[in-house]
Structure 1
Amino acid sequence: MEEQNNTQDILNQVHESTPDTLHPLLDYIIKNGKMIVAGVAAIILIAGGISGFKYMNQQKMIKAQSELGVILIKYSGTKQADELAAFAKDAPASMMPAVQLAQAKAWMDAGSYAEAKTAWAAVGKTSPEMAPVAGLGEAKCLMLEKKAGEAVTLLQGLKNSAGEKYASSIDRLLAEAAEQAGNIQLAVQAYQGLLTSVPQEASFFEFKIKELKAKL
């Protein structure tokens, strides 16, 4: 009882010493002190929960990156692709493009080009900004499957949509695919485009153009 009286005396003194304009706020704090403390406590608990959630996600990501590294070092070819498929089931969504790229390479290393094409297609769907790279990967798989004509069609469409950034890479592969498909005129055109976009290799492209024109 004495403690409550002392507390009330202190509050009264504070009330008397504060400007009249602050009295409404002071009265509110005095009357609702417990509620305000509880609210602050709740905010602290929520903030702590968010920090804990972020920490758990960070630890999950570190663990996943470590597991992916082990797979890439320990396995190769078909076994690596199988391990990556198992890993992908629980992998963080942000890691999927990297996992799919690794799968595509693993299948190509194993000579399983149909599976590699599927993996490349998945890369393009998961990460649209990687679509041009995925398209190049698919085209390379088609060439390795001896389907150069299909690769040419894919690359021509890709050239129209990918933009200037990938033009030289597409022209290089298009020239090879067109030559394999027996479309000499298209192969010459692709190499001619490379003369200006990759001038440091002009002598090689000039040689290829001369070689191909001799077949016309």
Structure 2
Amino acid sequence: MRWFLTAVGVLFGITVFMFLDYALPSKQTVRITEAFNRQIEIGRNAIFYAADDTGTVQNSTGRRDVQFINAVRTNGKPYVYRNEDTGWIWPPYFKYDSADLQAQAADLRSTSATPEWVSITSYGWRVNWLSVYPNAISIKPVSGPDVRPFNWGAIVILLILGALLMLIWRMWNQFRERSLDPAWDRIDAEGDAARGRLSRWWRGMRGR
């Protein structure tokens, strides 16, 4: 049973890590090449797009008009962001300025000959085969490709979550020491006693 609880704990830890990796804000220094709208089909990847209550509208065929920001990273590789409002539910970024952000992205477009570098704060993953894109939250011009703004938002959230985790861990340890450990010890003792009785019975049968 303890091995089962360990496996459950590992799976829970992996789930929490993936959840935080998706939901926490990240920053990337990029060069914006294009800001545009495109209709895309929302299907099995709907969980990675904005909810209907944010004002997003889908037509009868399940296609949605989504704003995108094309960019190039400092290593020369392309990267694509979507630009959707998040609303008041999840994730709690309370973003309602996607139109303003799209205008800012269009104004900051540049070419490789005369690059203008920006730091884009976003959350989410880029998964090509699922047509999943990170959602841009804010754009801030930077002086060059080597500038890496410190990600204060993610650090503060992780510190708060770490403090809550420590509190929950202490409460769990106290509960385990008072309730679970005595119960497991009693079960182990009863199992040992049962095995002992079975062993004595078997030796008696062999003796006969």
Q: Give TM class, smaller chain.
A: under 0.3
> Normalising to structure 1: TM-score of the pair?
0.21
Q: Which has the larger radius of gyration?
A: 1
TM-score by length of 2: 0.22
